[in-house]
Amino acid sequence: MEVFRKLFILLLFVLALVPKAFSQSGYVPPKIPEKTQKKLDELILASKGGQTDAAINGLNDLISHYPTWTSPRHELSRIYYETGNRKESVAVLEKAIAIDTISQLQQLFTLGRLYEETGNPDKAKICYTTYMAKADISDPLKQKAQENLDLILAREKMYTRKYDISLTPLPAEINSELDESVGRWTLDGKELFFSRKNGDQEDLFIAEMDSLTHHWKVTPFPFNTAAREGAPTISPDGKYLVYTACNVPNSYGSCDLYVSVRKKGIWTKPVNMGPGFNTASWDGQPCFGLDGTSIYFSSDRTGTFGGRDIWYMNQIASDSWTKPISAGPNINTGNNEGCPFISFDGNTLYFMRDGKEGMGATDLYISRKGLDGKWMPAENMGPPINSATDEGALAIHPDGKTALLTRLSDDKKNDLLEFELPGEFRSLPQQALHVYFKDKTTGLPIRAQLEIYEAKGNPEIRYSQISTDDGRITTTLQRNTPYGIIGYTQGYLMYSDNLESDSAASRYIEIAMIPMDKVENESIVLENVFFETGSSQLLPASEPELEKLLYTLKTNQSMIIEIRGYTDNIGEDDMNQRLSQDRAKAVFTWLTGKGIPSSRVAYKGFGETHPVASNETEEGRKQNRRTEFYIVKK
């Protein structure tokens, strides 16, 4: 209501400035003699032929003789606009529209655009609001008027933000006298990859933080060439460097995506990422997604909304990717979008866009995923992150608070600037999770799949990733959040663990998988089966674990198990015995309800007997409150 009240006040203000504006009805155009109409046509031709002064004088003469004839005023406004006299163009059009509104709706829209160009957004809002109220529903300009109004309101919102931000240039080891841009941290924050340009030559550089001196040591990427290399991204595990290379012989287009792999600390010779990623069009400015199995990039390939758009591809197997997918209309527009950065939460996208709705030639924007998994409408991040100069290539440090952007400095060179990201633009601080899978009997690495979900969140939202041939995975978690993890692969018993909330920047876990031929008479704790307090009611967070147990039974048809329930020693013995029995039965009921024959599953409660830790501490009691499955027969 407050917005409409202000618009009403502004409307009254404009009406006062422009007598009778937008207020006339029943307008009857004057009867114009054929000779006078011909004179108008001649003056229009004269103006387009360069006889500007003569046309202006002639049009003013027609207006003086026929003051309610709007056509000469329209042409006079046009001439003033084309000759750069915006102020006179506005004044003439205001007087024309004051005569009548309904017959001049197109001119009313034009006046709104003129008000925008001359720095009068309040008056432009009145024009667009009035236009939408009076125009026919089928009028194609009606939607454009709404879009222009929305842009004005969005820009006003940008300028009402007040952030106490200090943008600090990175040290001289990184920001040199040349152009530096597109900085990207590794997941541990110890390395920074960036571009440096010297004239037409652009190369990649790697800055590594010295743990003792806290100074950056900068070295060139070993495969820089006479072509242009820049705009890098580094995978979460630090093994894959993908970047943009331009003017490379035998490439697919002017700029392509290339990849180099770090093996035992040494970078391999980069290779073109091939068709799909690269086309005959411009392709570049990549960014790895959450777990390294997706890559976002910018391209002007066929199918764009106009200019360069943001696209992404998901990995479906080793060296196999989906077809390129557009980030959609809430991200891509008729302008140019580029330098995407997916924050480590996987749900926040930062990118740069040019266009008149921004503050400079290029501005930084943010979008988040909605509940439907689609990107919501992008929002300009406003001042002082954006300014009248160029900004782009924002990246977020794994701490979730520190941000880095590229800005064109006063001396017309690009620098990398660091600042603390305002709270409303942050994702949650991230943690690097390093996992190693091995065979429990041989100690050798194995290839397995890891599934992760929030232990207290929605069990339907899960991340899944397959390890490399050496059994390793690096992915990201939110700090201070408990997770359930499940490991599984063909020929091995499923693995279950619960990761307590942790604030460290990284953590390492080793998963020893038990081969199926060694599992008889084994007891496995179902770490992520949860119940209501003091109840046998299964919680939704138990679903992923139970589903993997179901999968294990279905893929091993001869396996017979017993579900065993245990409690701590708090409470009466009989009550604990019944509770443990009921909880074991709840898992039994879930499995048999999914089609597992009761002949293959038994259940038993042991109460507070058989503790695995001391009941004197809460941590020990928590370990004793457990559900296991015992393998009777493999």
| pLDDT tens-digit series, residues 371-386 | 567 898 998 998 889 8
Q: What is the mean pLDDT of residues 322-331?
A: 93
The pLDDT of residue 36 is above 50: yes
Whether 306 maps to a domain, the answer reads yes
Co-location of 495 and 586 in the same domain:
no
Q: What is the DSSP string of 516-571?
A: GGG-TT-EEE-TT--B-TTS-PBPGGGHHHHHHHHHHHHH-TT-EEEEEE---SSS
- Is 22's pLDDT higher than 70? no
Task: Select from 393, 421, 449 the last residue of a domain.
Answer: 421
d(CA 240, CA 245): 15
What is the distance in angstroms between the CA of the first residue and the CA of the last residue of the chain?
69
H helix runs in 401-542, sequence order: none
CATH number of the domain that 27 lies in? 1.25.40.10
For residue 540, the model assigns a pLDDT of 87
Q: Is the pLDDT of residue 410 over 90?
A: no
Picking from 598, 569, 566, 599, the residue whose alpha carbon sits closest to that of residue 583 is 566
Residues 604, 624: one domain? yes
The confidence score (pLDDT) of residue 515 equals 92
Q: Is the pLDDT of residue 327 over 50?
A: yes
Residue 121 domain flag = yes
**Identity at 65, one-letter amino acid code:** H
State pLDDT tens for residues 539-567.
988 888 999 899 999 989 999 999 999 99
Specify the pairing of strand 201-209 against strand 191-198: antiparallel
- Give residue 521's pLDDT: 80
Regarding whether 108 and 42 lie in a shared domain, the answer is yes
Q: Is the residue at 170 inside a domain?
A: no
Q: Is residue 168 one of the residues assigned to a domain?
A: no
Nearest to 396 by CA among 442, 345, 447: 345
Q: Which residue among 387, 421, 455 closes a domain? A: 421
Report if residue 567 sits inside a domain.
yes
Q: Is residue 124 part of a domain?
A: yes
Tens digit of each residue's pLDDT (9 = 90 or more) over 247-290: 898 899 999 999 999 998 999 999 999 998 999 999 999 999 87
By DSSP bridging, strand 601-605 and strand 560-565 are: parallel
Give the per-residue pLDDT at 550.
94
Of 457, 488, 518, which one is at a domain's C-terminal end? Answer: 518
pLDDT of residue 459: 62
What is the band of 3 on the pLDDT scale with cuts at 50, 70, 90? very low
Instruction: Give one DSSP letter per residue of 257-274, joined into a string.
Output: EEEEEEETTEEPPPEE--
CATH number at residue 498: 2.60.40.1120
User: What is residue 434's three-state secondary structure?
Assistant: strand
**Residue 166 maps to a domain:** no
Q: Which of 27-41, 149-163, 444-458 has the highest mean pLDDT?
A: 27-41
DSSP-assigned beta bridge partners for residue 483: 454, 499
Task: Clarify whether residues 248 and 340 are in a common domain.
Answer: yes
Domain interval for residue 142? 2-160
Q: Where are the alpha helices (DSSP H) in 423-512?
A: none
| C-alpha pair distances (Å), 414 with each of 14, 175, 180, 340, 411 | 43, 9, 5, 18, 9
Band (16; pLDDT cuts 50, 70, 90): very low
pLDDT digits (tens, 9 = 90+) for 590-625: 999 999 999 999 999 999 999 999 999 998 998 999
What CATH number does residue 350 fall under? 2.120.10.30
Q: 325 with 381, same domain?
A: yes
Place of tokens 């990761």: 499
Q: Which residues does residue 304 pair with via DSSP β-bridges, in sequence order? A: none
User: How many domains are contained in the chain?
Assistant: 4
Mean pLDDT of the chain: 88
Using omega within 30 degrees of 0 as the cis cutoff, is the peptide bond preceding 72 cis?
Answer: no
Question: For residue 169, is it within any domain?
Answer: no
Quote the pTM value: 0.57
Burial class (CB in 10 A: 0-12, 13-18, 19+), 545: buried
Query: Is 219 in the same domain as 208?
Result: yes
Q: By percentage, how much of the chain surpasses pLDDT 70?
A: 93
For the segment 506-514, the average pLDDT, to the nearest whole number, is 91
410 and 439 inside one domain? no
Nearest to 285 by CA among 229, 324, 329: 229
Query: What per-residue confidence (pLDDT) applies to 10?
Result: 42
Reading phi first (left if > 0) and then psi (alpha if -120 to 50, else beta), residue 103 is in: alpha
Q: Do 68 and 136 belong to one domain?
A: yes
Q: Show the tokens assigned to 602.
A: 């038994």
352 and 440 together in one domain: no
> Binning pLDDT at 50, 70 and 90, where does residue 395 land?
very high
Task: For residues 256 and 350, state if they share a domain.
Answer: yes
- Find the angle CA(406)-CA(411)-CA(416) to the nearest 5 degrees: 20
Of 73-77, 91-95, 319-323, which range is least confident?
Answer: 319-323
Q: How confident is the model at residue 1 (pLDDT cuts 50, 70, 90)?
A: very low
pLDDT at 520: 77
Grade residue 631 by pLDDT with cuts at 50, 70 and 90.
very high
pLDDT higher than threshold 90 for residue 28: no
pLDDT higher for 601 or 478? Answer: 601
Given a contact cutoff of 8 angstroms between Cβ atoms, the answer to whether 58 and 45 are in contact is no
509 and 536 together in one domain: no
Query: What are the CA-CA distances from residue 189 to residues 180, 186, 209, 222, 237 (Å)?
Result: 19, 5, 9, 21, 12
8 Å CB contact between 359 and 319 = no
pLDDT (average), residues 173-201 = 92
Buried/exposed code over 376-405 (b: 16+ C-beta within 10 A; e: otherwise): eebebbbbebbeeebbbbbbbbbebeebbb
Q: Based on the fold, state whether residues 276 and 134 are members of the same structural domain.
A: no
Residue-wise pLDDT tens digits, 333-356: 999 999 999 987 778 999 999 987
